Amino acid sequence: MEQARATPEKKTDAPSAGRRHGRLLYVDNLRWTMILLVISMHAADTYSPFGNWYFVERPPVTAIETLVFGAWQMYLQSFFMGLLFFVAGFFVPASYDRKGPAAFLHDRAIRLGVPVLLYMFLIGPVTEYYVAHSWTSTLPTSFANEWGKHIRNGEVLQENGPLWFCLALLIFCLVYAAFRSLGRSDARPLEDGAPPSTGHLVRFALLMAALSYFVRALDPGSLLNMHLGDFPQYILLFTAGVLSARRDWLPKLDFQRGVRWLSIVVPVGMVGWLGLMIDAKRHGVDFSGGWNWQSAAFCLWESLTCIAVSFGLLVIYRRYFDAQRSLARFLSDNAFGVYVFHPPIVIAIARLMYRLAWPPLTKFALLTAASAFVSFAICALLLRRLPLLRRIL
């Protein structure tokens, strides 16, 4: 996750173009917010009737609790990883220009590739064997034996946990570098630096919806733990991040229009989402794939929600959160390390809370808060002090 550092300039609602080469504090703040939401998603997976996770409790839930979990998880899924890809794409052109192709790819291999390998060969196996107890065998066996089997049967290739994001981002960076090396330079000044209009955003959302619907209808499944049905959104938003950096769009996004998108699309979308959920339950239709109108409607809802929430958060953070005091700086500095190492911490705390006879939503909130606190503390006090981890975290 590239971070450009410089002395922050005077705060305005529309930062000057010179800040493009400095550290955009509101983008940093938005990024660590998304990583907190990643923790909350995995905490929700533990207790809700939806989603997959290493360790799940699956307590009985009421209709209201089911609705709250479903809305929280589906709304998060509609935008939070896509927005992280947008932010990552935003920093790519400046990094490539500053370092050149060889150094850029070397840096990406270290900062993204090494954490993926670390998770596949160490963090993931330790999490599954010692913390989640999700590695099972017909006979009692040791970690070494299970780890060897994990390698031999090729399971290691699918076991990158949340680090699928880093693997995908590494692939995107390789494609970007190849694009630039072929002379397709995006470093030239562009004539039209105006930000996307409402019509552009609507067409972008429709394209995202159409591609998502088509890919999901083909049911490509997963590759290296990357759910391919979500990748039209990720590819488009990474590309949008690159274009935003080159055309200097972020300072020019209209605040009122961003808030309007957020205030219209999200509540109207909630009505549409509820209608889709009721129809899916009544008719037993899987709206997450297949050649049916329900899947098409869900892809449209998801894409419009993604654009509206991302647009709204970008302008709100630019206006109100373009500064960092000690806490925000601490969260920003440790966010990537938390992303890499939070799974075993979330699971360990969930296991400690297993016997608490509390409502699922209460346990979800407590697990989210406790996991975030412990993850950031361990990352800052231990992990980022280790010489072998300091460079990649």
pLDDT tens digit sequence for 51-70: 889 999 999 999 999 999 99
Q: Is the pTM of this model over 0.75?
A: yes
Same domain for 152 and 45? yes
Q: Tell the residue number behind the tokens 């160490």, with chain if given.
A: 122
* pLDDT digit string (tens) for the chain, length 393 residues: 444 333 333 334 443 333 433 579 999 999 999 999 999 999 999 999 998 899 999 999 999 999 999 999 999 999 999 999 999 999 999 999 999 999 999 999 999 999 999 999 999 999 999 999 888 766 668 889 889 988 988 889 889 999 999 999 999 999 999 999 987 555 554 545 789 999 999 999 999 999 999 999 999 999 999 999 999 999 999 999 999 999 999 999 999 999 999 999 999 999 999 998 888 878 777 777 889 999 999 999 999 999 999 999 999 999 999 999 999 999 999 999 999 999 999 999 999 999 999 999 999 999 999 999 999 999 999 999 999 898 898
| Contact call for residues 67 and 37 (beta carbons, < 8 A) | no
Q: Tell the residue number behind the tokens 């949008």, with chain if given.
A: 240
Q: Tell the residue number behind the tokens 């529309």, with chain if given.
A: 14
In a domain, 11, yes or no: no
Question: Which of 258, 287, 321 is at the close of a domain?
Answer: 321
Q: What is the Cα–Cα distance from 229 to 206, expressed in whole angstroms? A: 16
Enclosing domain of residue 285:
192-228+245-321
In a domain, 29, yes or no: yes
Residues in CB range of 51: below 8 A, 6 or more apart: 41, 44, 45, 73
In a domain, 31, yes or no: yes
How many structural domains comprise the chain?
Answer: 2
Same domain for 38 and 168? yes
Same domain for 354 and 384? yes
- Measured over all CA atoms, what is the biggest interatomic distance in the chain, rounded to whole angstroms? 67
Same domain for 222 and 176? no
pLDDT in tens, 221-280: 999 999 999 999 999 999 999 999 999 999 999 999 999 999 999 999 999 999 988 888
Same domain for 161 and 197? no
